[in-house]
Amino acid sequence: MSKAVVHGERPRARYRTRNWREYDRGLIARGDLTVWISPDLTWHVEEGTGRRGRPRVFTDVAIQAVLTLKVLYQLPLRAAQGMAGGLIRLAGLDWKVPHYSTLSRRQKDLTVTIPYRARGGPLHLIIDSTGLKVLGEGEWKVRKHGADKRRVWRKVHLVIDADSHEVRAVEMTDHRHGDGEIVPGLLAQLPKAEQIGVISGDGAYDTRGVYEASAARDAALVVPPRRNGKPWKARTAGAAERNESLRAIKRLGRRLWKRWSGYHRRSLAETAMSRLKRLGERLSARDPARQVAEVQIRCAILNTFNALGMPDTVAVA
């Protein structure tokens, strides 16, 4: 016997995962350590690179692999060195293990590779930002005694592919930088040959700079104008698009405009932020250069997990 729906309430949506077996295997594979350390990696630098100074022993791939273990399992550098050495011995490989001092030094200028799956059609990108803690006491002390003046945060800006849920671009700033001013640098991280169809964001991206950046990539921008927003002059980039949104909101209401424009897909960015913070809400590195590499490694972990398997979920009646 079905439960009666309370008058005025909308029935709760129900969903079904159509590829549960494949997704289940992907979830299990996320715990496979050979995903990060395998014989296929180019571990040592080849001779005769032509670089001045003392030659490097380990490639960026090797350093990223060990730092990935550190970030994923929230280990100190020495423990990450020990785990990598144990995996190398278990795999029967004759590789050297990067010393923890080498890991610390190389992290500062590491070129992190963030894997992603190339797609043929135009991209639907979602832009958002969140904060990660650097300094400060735990949440219990804050609740008990109030926030510490030394609490320091870093702002992480992500560009998410709405279809694959992969991170396509990332920037890290301090709290003094606005969301809109980071967008041109984020879009510059995507290859120019890759076509962008739509860019979605919240009201913080209702700026002329964001419209100019999206117009430069021939992309439509789905951003709700600010509640006190005024029409722009016609010569401004994106003015026609934004002014039409203002007229539609005034005529239909903001809630209906969001549903009609597909704005609610932007919530996928909040899901990505939540997954990013499951790797830790605090950055372990202390200087900004190493923090950038740590955030990029987190994004590489999320994309690798996505490639292992994602749920194909559909709404059911």
What confidence tens digit (pLDDT) does each residue in 31-57 have? 998 899 889 999 999 875 566 667 889
Confidence (pLDDT) at 8: 57
Confidence (pLDDT) at 7: 57
Q: In the predicted model, what is the mean pLDDT of residues 276-291?
A: 90
Q: At residue 3, does pLDDT exceed 70?
A: no
Q: At residue 276, does pLDDT exceed 90?
A: yes
Least confident of 7-21, 87-101, 219-233, 302-316: 7-21
| All residues at 6 or more sequence positions from 36 whose CB lies less than 8 Å from its CB, including other chains | 65, 68, 69, 72
Higher model confidence: residue 48 or residue 83? 83
Q: In the predicted model, what is the mean pLDDT of residues 237-248?
A: 85
Higher model confidence: residue 98 or residue 246? 98
Q: Are strands 123-135 and 196-200 parallel, antiparallel or unpaired?
A: parallel
Q: Helix 288-308 vs helix 20-29: angle between axes, to the nearest 10 degrees?
A: 140
Per-residue pLDDT band at 1 (split at 50, 70, 90): very low
Single-letter amino acid, residue 85: G
Domain boundaries, the chain: 21-107, 123-283
Residues 186-213 pLDDT 10s? 999 999 999 999 999 998 999 889 999 9
CB-side exposure of 222: number of CA atoms within 13 Å? Answer: 21
Q: In the predicted model, what is the mean pLDDT of residues 173-180?
A: 86
Determine what percent of the chain is predicted with pLDDT higher than 70. Answer: 89
Confidence (pLDDT) at 66: 97
Q: In the predicted model, what is the mean pLDDT of residues 179-188?
A: 93
Check if the beta carbon of residue 107 is closer than 8 Å to that of residue 290.
Answer: yes
Higher model confidence: residue 100 or residue 136? 100
Per-residue pLDDT band at 266 (split at 50, 70, 90): confident
Q: At residue 122, does pLDDT exceed 90?
A: yes
Confidence (pLDDT) at 25: 93
Confidence (pLDDT) at 10: 66
Least confident of 33-47, 72-86, 205-219, 225-239: 225-239
Residues 23-37 pLDDT 10s? 999 999 999 988 998
In CATH, the number for domain 123-283 is 3.30.420
Q: In the predicted model, what is the mean pLDDT of residues 82-89?
A: 95
Backbone angles phi, psi at 314, to 5 degrees: -130, 155
Determine what percent of the chain is predicted with pLDDT higher than 90. Answer: 53
pTM: 0.86
Q: In the predicted model, what is the mean pLDDT of residues 107-119?
A: 93
Q: In the predicted model, what is the mean pLDDT of residues 273-292?
A: 91
